[in-house]
Amino acid sequence: MPLTPLSRPLTAEDAAHFLRRTAFGATDEQIRALVGKKAQDVARAALAFDQSVAPGNPFDPLQGATPGAALQLGRGAWLYELAYGPHPLREKLALTWSNHFVIATDKVRNVPAVADYLNLLRRHAATRSFERFTLEVAQSPAMLRYLDNDQNRKGKPNENFSRELLELFTTGIGAYTENDVREGARALTGWTFQGGRGNRQYLEQPRFVNQTQQHDTGRKTYLGQSGALKGEDIVRIATSHPATATFVSRKLHRAFLADTPDDAAVKGSADTWTRTKGDVMAVLTELLASEAFYASRSRIIRSPVEFLVGGIRTLGQPKIDARSLLNLAGTAGRMGQVLLEPDTVKGWDGGREWINDTTLLLRMQVAAALTMGSKAPNLDTPPSLLALTGQERPAGAVLLSSLRGRQRTYLSLISPEFQLA
Amino acid sequence: MTNRRDFLKLSALAVAATSGMPGFLARAATQAGGTKTLVVVQLTGGNDGLNTLIPYSNGAYYAARPTIAIPKKDVLTVTPDLGMHPALRPLMKLWDDGHLAWMENVGYPNPNRSHFASMAIWHTADPSQAQADGWIGRIAEKIGDPFCASNLGAATPQALQASEFSLPSIDSVDNFQLKLPAGMNTPFESLLNSPRSGEAAYLTRATRQMMKNTARVQENVRKYRSGATYPDTKFASQLRDAARLIAAGVGQRVIYVSLGGFDTHAGQRAEQDGLLTTLAGGLSAFQADLETQGLAKDVIVMGFSEFGRRVAENGSAGTDHGKGSVMFAFGQGVKGGVHGSSPDLEDLSEGDIKYRQDFRGVYAEALTRWLNLDARGILGGTFTGPRWIA
């Protein structure tokens, strides 16, 4: 059963909710512009993004003096795009996919490989073919390096990518056996890359190669299908497995509906996924216009990056100097979310795991820096309570209304309501 | 289970009253008691046990690992058959003093080779993977004090998850303090007092807890003067923070520290050698600090990893995910030696060693004989393991 579409025209709180989830947050004016519109039209418009980027990005990773500095500049560049880019939903999806097809920059350690990987996530952000997306990820030098498939050779299998392809990228645990992992690794032998290896070549462009002489051409059996399977076959079989529809739909619900997704709603999306053969655009279009989406307010704890970017966008995208932005990217890391560098290949679990004493303290410090500090950006029009909390009458509304601009904005940013989307 | 139900009732009441949580905590804190501390060290990524405690007299070990085996001449001999990785030399004094224990061949039924599933099993102490709460989270609920167990690091591991509590993670003791801008204390207090439900109520509770925890730590850590020089690593600085919290007498019974990077699929020697160097350097400084402070008799350390690695090396001079592995423990309260028998390298399960000791038995010993808690209530069953507490 597909998800039931929302039938009412959007209210102000509906519009605020939509923009908190799909654009990290928005100004009062941006919210009001959606009031009265149809949910389907709003979802389609938000998903109709192109690949244009924010003008004037101050960060260029190619100018990094060391691999570490270059990767840090890359994180700054992404934070700038997240905060000021023309297509926040594309960036939200790229962030979501970076937490699905996980790589870690400290292992990849090559600037063009990381840039290509991020552009791949943007290009496929609302992909029409999850199979195609997965194949391109599997052949990206960043992933080949991160999960060691560049070392996966005939007779000397390395199972790292083969395992995570099933466990984390497609079917999830329970749908496969250890034998499938081994056979998948054999099928993926020979996929590697040339160039860009080593600490000195961190600016050199690596390139995918299929080393056929390193490929195990023998017969394999993978998820019940047998033959002289190749890497492409493994990706096709894994992505079209029924468990993949549910497993990846659940992650989309996790990103857009709730920290604890509702199984019936996930099944609705999985049905659409199966019917459209992994057309993520179709799944998202339905999802973002559904009753379930609009009924799910305040059920996601914002991640550190969502908190920071949400703050900047809710404040009307005030100009923040490059050094401070770079510091903010580092602060996101101290709050548990280094862009393109989750602790493990499983990615960030999110939800309540974002919250502990230290991260709460840091969120309060960031909020103070954005609103009360000596270098805080100018706020001509302080954000409305609707923009800050998503509610016209949030908890503590009377108290907040009695405060002046900066103080009200500061307290709202550290309120439980702002931590949620 | 009545204890747990009573506890939940109590905390629900406390949450409903506007100023209830701090009062409730104050009451609970008096029950925490105890002077013994357990420090848990997590080696994330699957530490290779065979290259940590090396069966150097076993030809099968060298046959399976032509490239990455530790040469006999480099091994730090501890028994006629076993020796420690050379990077662990800083821990040899503890061994010689009879305060370092190795638990051989530790695992659990139906081993899972997924990092995450296996780590979750160690965190929840539940191989059926049915529970969400961690075993240390359950300790905190049993004691009734969310501050009796803390993680040192940015993110709270599942071992410290509890259904009602949010246990603290302290990234750095120095920065662990709340300073609101002038004039904001009272409005913030009023804002937190507004009624909330769902995740917003959870966040309110977590914020209140944080305010209380930071105040408690800052009042106490000033007393600490370091008694050792720590290496310049993040891991060592977290252990130094652990020593500060213990010296401050803030009341933690369990402190959790992690060291990551053990997923050595390729080029294992260089990677694991470096990690074990970091590990041993941090741990030996920590022990020296405790001894200088006169705290060593009250603290033990217990280390684990989510699994060991395949017996045979792979084609990239690394090892893929395996099953059982070694655990270690040390401290004046620990009975040194090798506990349990080494794996039979010629009788393997899918290329992996077969475990012979259940990790829950190792936990049970720490819970019962060190922390003086009811292990059965925390682990959900009776597990016996080696007698590694002195």
According to DSSP, the β-strands at B149-152 and B254-260 are parallel
Q: Which residues of B touch A407 (CB under 8 A)?
A: 183-184, 187
Which residue in A252, A248, A228, A250 sits closest to A239, CA to CA? Answer: A248
For the residues A31-46, what does the mean pLDDT come to?
98
Which residue in B253, B220, B302, B45 sits closest to B136, CA to CA? Answer: B253
Q: Strand order of the sheet with strand B53-54?
A: B53-54, B83-84, B76-77
Which residue in A224, A218, A161 sits closest to A188, CA to CA? Answer: A161
Q: Does A414 touch chain B (CB under 8 A)?
A: yes
pLDDT tens per residue across span A83-98: 999 999 999 999 999 9
Show the CA angle centred on residue B47, arms to residues A156 and A356, nearest 5°. 125
Cα(B345)–Cα(B312) distance, integer angstroms: 10
pLDDT tens per residue across span A104-138: 999 999 999 999 999 999 999 999 999 999 999 99
Residue B27 has pLDDT above 80, yes or no: no
For the residues B185-190, what does the mean pLDDT come to?
94
Six-digit token string for B356? 């012979």
Contact A396, B191 (CB under 8 A): yes
pLDDT of residue B30: 35
Q: Which of A167, A345, A358 sits opposite B154 (nearest CB)?
A: A358
Under DSSP, is residue B96 helix (H, G, I), strand (E, B) or coil? helix
Q: Do B320 and A159 touch (CB under 8 A)?
A: yes
Q: Do B155 and A400 touch (CB under 8 A)?
A: no
Q: What stretches of chain B show up as alpha helix (H) in DSSP?
A: 2-16, 20-32, 59-64, 92-96, 115-124, 135-143, 185-193, 198-221, 234-248, 268-293, 359-365, 375-379
Residue A59 has pLDDT above 90, yes or no: yes
Share of chain A above pLDDT 70, in %: 100
For the residues B347-354, what does the mean pLDDT come to?
93
Residue B13 has pLDDT above 70, yes or no: no
Q: Which residues of B touch A157 (CB under 8 A)?
A: 314-315
Show the CA angle centred on residue A110, arms to residues A106 and A115, nearest 5°. 105
Q: Do B198 and A299 touch (CB under 8 A)?
A: yes
Q: Per-residue confidence at B250, pLDDT binned at 50, 70, 90?
A: confident
Name the phi and psi angles at B301, rounded to 5: -120, 135
Six-digit token string for B180? 């609101």
Pairs of residues, one from chain A and one from chain B, whose beta carbons lie less than 8 Å apart: 146
For the residues B356-370, what does the mean pLDDT come to?
97
Q: Does A178 touch chain B (CB under 8 A)?
A: yes
Q: Do B265 and A407 touch (CB under 8 A)?
A: no
- B73-82 long-range CB contacts below 8 Å, 24 or more apart? B78/B53, B78/B102, B78/B338, B79/B338, B81/B55, B81/B56, B81/B57, B81/B342, B82/B53, B82/B54, B82/B55, B82/B56, B82/B338, B82/B342
Window A:259-288, CB contacts with B under 8 Å: 259
Under DSSP, is residue B381 helix (H, G, I), strand (E, B) or coil? coil
pLDDT of residue B33: 54
Share of chain B above pLDDT 90, in %: 73
* d(CA A358, nearest CA chain B) in Å: 6
pLDDT of residue B348: 94
Q: Which residues contact A417 (CB under 8 A, 6 or more apart)?
A: A298, A388, A389, A390, A391, A394, A395, B200
If one compares B179 and A109, the residue with the highest pLDDT of the two is: A109
* d(CA A417, nearest CA chain B) in Å: 6
Q: Which residues of B touch A173 (CB under 8 A)?
A: 114, 117
* d(CA B256, nearest CA chain A) in Å: 14
ipTM of the complex: 0.94
Residue B23 has pLDDT above 80, yes or no: no
Residue B336 has pLDDT above 70, yes or no: yes
Residue B11 has pLDDT above 60, yes or no: no
Residue B4 has pLDDT above 50, yes or no: no
C-alpha dihedral (B58, B59, B62, B65), degrees to nearest 10: -100
Q: Do B176 and A357 touch (CB under 8 A)?
A: yes
For the residues B73-89, what does the mean pLDDT come to?
98
Nearest CA in chain B to A150: B316
Q: Which residues of A touch B216 (CB under 8 A)?
A: none
Residue B9 has pLDDT above 80, yes or no: no
Q: Which residues of A touch B167 (CB under 8 A)?
A: 356
For the residues A283-290, what does the mean pLDDT come to?
98
Question: Looking at the DSSP assignment, which residues form a beta bridge with residue B305?
Answer: B43
Average predicted confidence (pLDDT) for chain B: 88
Q: Which residues of B touch A420 (CB under 8 A)?
A: 199-200, 203
Q: Which of B113, B203, B210 sits opposite A361 (nearest CB)?
A: B210
pLDDT of residue A378: 84
Residue B20 has pLDDT above 90, yes or no: no
Six-digit token string for A230? 């190749």
- Of A172-176, A213-217, B26-30, B226-230, the least confident: B26-30
Q: Which residues of B touch A178 (CB under 8 A)?
A: 113, 350
pLDDT of residue B221: 83
pLDDT tens per residue across span B112-149: 999 999 999 999 999 988 888 999 999 988 888 777 89
Q: Which residues of A touch B321 (CB under 8 A)?
A: 159, 163
Residue in the block written with tokens 């390395």: A158
pLDDT of residue B24: 32
pLDDT of residue A372: 87
Burial class for A166, CB neighbours closer than 10 Å (0-12, 13-18, 19+): buried
If one compares B9 and A297, the residue with the highest pLDDT of the two is: A297
Window A:345-374, CB contacts with B under 8 Å: 345-346, 352-353, 355-361, 364, 368, 372
For the residues B183-210, what does the mean pLDDT come to?
94
Q: Which of A163, A411, A417 sits opposite B188 (nearest CB)?
A: A411
pLDDT of residue B93: 97
pLDDT tens per residue across span A147-195: 999 999 999 999 999 999 999 999 999 999 999 999 999 999 999 999 9
Burial class for B182, CB neighbours closer than 10 Å (0-12, 13-18, 19+): exposed
Cα(B309)–Cα(A413) distance, integer angstroms: 46
- A208-215 long-range CB contacts below 8 Å, 24 or more apart? A208/A139, A208/A140, A208/A141, A208/A144, A211/A153, A213/A154, A214/A153, A214/A154, A214/A189, A214/A190, A215/A154, A215/A189, A215/A190
Residue A364 has pLDDT above 80, yes or no: yes
Cα(B305)–Cα(A169) distance, integer angstroms: 24
Q: Does A322 touch chain B (CB under 8 A)?
A: no
For the residues A402-410, what does the mean pLDDT come to?
92
Contact A77, A114 (CB under 8 A): no
* d(CA A160, nearest CA chain B) in Å: 7
Nearest CA in chain B to A189: B315
Cα(A372)–Cα(A408) distance, integer angstroms: 10
Contact A150, B267 (CB under 8 A): no
For the residues A320-344, what does the mean pLDDT come to?
91
pLDDT tens per residue across span A198-254: 888 999 999 999 999 999 999 999 999 999 999 999 999 999 999 999 999 999 999
Q: Do B177 and A361 touch (CB under 8 A)?
A: yes
If one compares B303 and B11, the residue with the highest pLDDT of the two is: B303
Q: Do A372 and B181 touch (CB under 8 A)?
A: yes
pLDDT of residue A119: 98
Which residue in A282, A268, A277, A266 sits closest to A242, CA to CA? Answer: A277
Cα(A361)–Cα(A350) distance, integer angstroms: 17
pLDDT of residue B217: 84
Residue B22 has pLDDT above 70, yes or no: no
Q: Do A301 and B203 touch (CB under 8 A)?
A: yes
